[in-house]
Structure 1
Amino acid sequence: MSNDSPSSTDPNLVAHERTYKVFNIIVRWCMVVLGSTIAGLSLAFATPAGFVAGLFVGFLLFVAGYIVLVRHEEHQPLDLWTEGR
Structure 2
Amino acid sequence: MTTYVERYEAAMVTQIKVELAERSMEQKDLADKVGINRVTMSHYMTGKRSIPMPTFLKIAEALAVAPGTLMDRADARVQPTAETA
Please give the TM-score of this superposition, normalised by the length of structure 2: 0.34
Structure number with higher relative contact order (C-alpha < 8 Å, ≥ 6 residues apart)? 2
More helix by share: 1
TM superposition score normalised by structure 1:
0.34
